[in-house]
Amino acid sequence: MRPPLALAKYSIGVGDRFGRQARAQLEACRLALAAGVEVIPVWNKSYREHSIIGSEPIATRRAADEAVSALGWKLPYHVDADHIQLGTVERFLDACDFFTIDVAETIGRPAPAERVSAFVARHPELTGAIAIPGIDQPFETTAETVAAIARKYLLAVEEAGRIYRRILQAKGAGNFIAEVSMDETDCPQTPVELLVILAALADEGIPIQTIAPKFSGRFNKGVDYVGDVAAFECEFAADVAVVRHAVRAYRLPEDLKLSVHSGSDKFSLYAPIGRALRRFDAGVHLKTAGTTWLEELIGLAEAGSDGLALAKQIYAEAYAEREALSRPYAAVIDIDPALLPDPADVRCWSAAEFAATLRHDPTSPHFNPHFRQLLHIGYKVAARMGARYLDMLAAGEAVIARNVTTNLFERHIRPLFLGEQH
């Protein structure tokens, strides 16, 4: 098998809902490079985002290509078909070279008993005490626990295989990066489950390069991690060790690494993740998405009178539609309607007040995570404004770009990849 297109040790998934900030995002990677670390940009956009915005994957590709040529970026970059399934992959095939294969829907659908027992028989190494280098205590499993995990995940792995083979047929071996994502489900996967899943993915013949498990705790959109940070650190380090072990045990690609979804704004996790990466000399893919759109809004507010008025109008409309907007995101947001400011009050805010309420600076007394989360999911409101919104972005380009770049570099790349406090 031809080795897959390589994925660098450190990569960052940057979403760009309206496709206008690719250059400002790439600038953050350029700053990282100047500071001594290669962080490879991956422009990700899901089927759902394209549908809501009314855009096509080729537009993401074009924006990425233009940014790369404008800034003279010489390192690799990728365009990610984010969270695709068999029914949605087709329109991404030409434009993308990174595919996030989402099989969360199939998790838990019980695999037939004979396939489960065949898996357990094929993998005697998964039963008993499993010593994983870098983890103090060996995992203790029985044939029953392995069977229970296989029953829960085997059909999802087979589905991933079907999607992978469709992409393979269209793109050819070695021409794309495959990620498997299991994060959009109810229960987090334990490190033992991750090991079993990786063994099954290897059996299925998928040369995966990133895997996105669901971690413990809440990864809400646009705000910090909610959960036990110390427990997360143990779990993440164990997952990194499992990935490294699985690469050797199951001959998976050498560059296989974890992918952290909803990874923007998880400020309390960057130090623990960074420690685990350094300890194992491992890489990571940090996927961020909606953060850039929020920086656009902050920039709009700061850009001047018309921009501020538009930002306030977007908030007022999102506020009026908050229930409908929240519904598809229920699992990944926590908005207390009582803590949302009244749009009538917001109408009187200064640009500085709007920006400080929205900007994710936990030390600022103005910062309001409810306001931020509502606007995070409120991009639909801007999308239906169409040209009016896009023209305003063009008018405020310089100040918006500064916000987009600073957010990615100072608040994400610096603490995670450079190991610096922000």
CA distance 358 to 233: 28
13 vs 207, which CB is nearer to Zn ion? 13
CA distance 102 to 86: 9
41 vs 263, which CB is nearer to Zn ion? 263
Minimal distance in Å, beta carbon 228 to Zn ion?
21
SS3 367: coil
What is the amino acid identity at position 199?
A: A
261 vs 372, which CB is nearer to Zn ion? 261
183 vs 265, which CB is nearer to Zn ion? 183
CA distance 103 to 158: 9
Is residue 49 a contact residue for Zn ion (CB under 5 A)?
no
Helices of type H across 72-123: 113-122
Minimal distance in Å, beta carbon 361 to Zn ion?
25
254 vs 334, which CB is nearer to Zn ion? 334
Minimal distance in Å, beta carbon 291 to Zn ion?
14
47 vs 319, which CB is nearer to Zn ion? 47
CA distance 330 to 2: 41
Minimal distance in Å, beta carbon 214 to Zn ion?
9
**Token digits for 81?**
């078909």
Quote the Cα angle for 415-260-45, to 5°: 105
178 vs 392, which CB is nearer to Zn ion? 178
- The residues that bridge with 178 in the sheet, in sequence order, are 99
Minimal distance in Å, beta carbon 262 to Zn ion?
6
CA neighbor of 286 nearest in space, from 37, 74, 36, 3 = 37
CB atoms within 10 A of CB 168: 18
21 vs 264, which CB is nearer to Zn ion? 264
CA distance 371 to 319: 9
Positions 136 through 195 that interact with Zn ion (CB under 5 A): 183
User: Under rule CB under 5 A, how many of the chain's residues touch Zn ion?
Assistant: 2
Positions 250 through 269 that interact with Zn ion (CB under 5 A): 261
- In this structure, are residues 126 and 146 in contact, taking their beta carbons and an 8 Å threshold? yes
Minimal distance in Å, beta carbon 403 to Zn ion?
24
- In this structure, are residues 202 and 246 in contact, taking their beta carbons and an 8 Å threshold? yes
212 vs 325, which CB is nearer to Zn ion? 212
Pairing type for strands 128-130 and 139-141 reads antiparallel
Minimal distance in Å, beta carbon 114 to Zn ion?
32
Minimal distance in Å, beta carbon 208 to Zn ion?
15
- DSSP state at residue 334: -
What phi and psi, each to the nearest 5 degrees, are found at residue 219? -105, 70
The residue number whose beta carbon is nearest to Zn ion equals 261
Q: Residue for token digits 């399934």?
A: 85
Minimal distance in Å, beta carbon 393 to Zn ion?
26
The footprint of Zn ion (CB under 5 A) covers: 183, 261
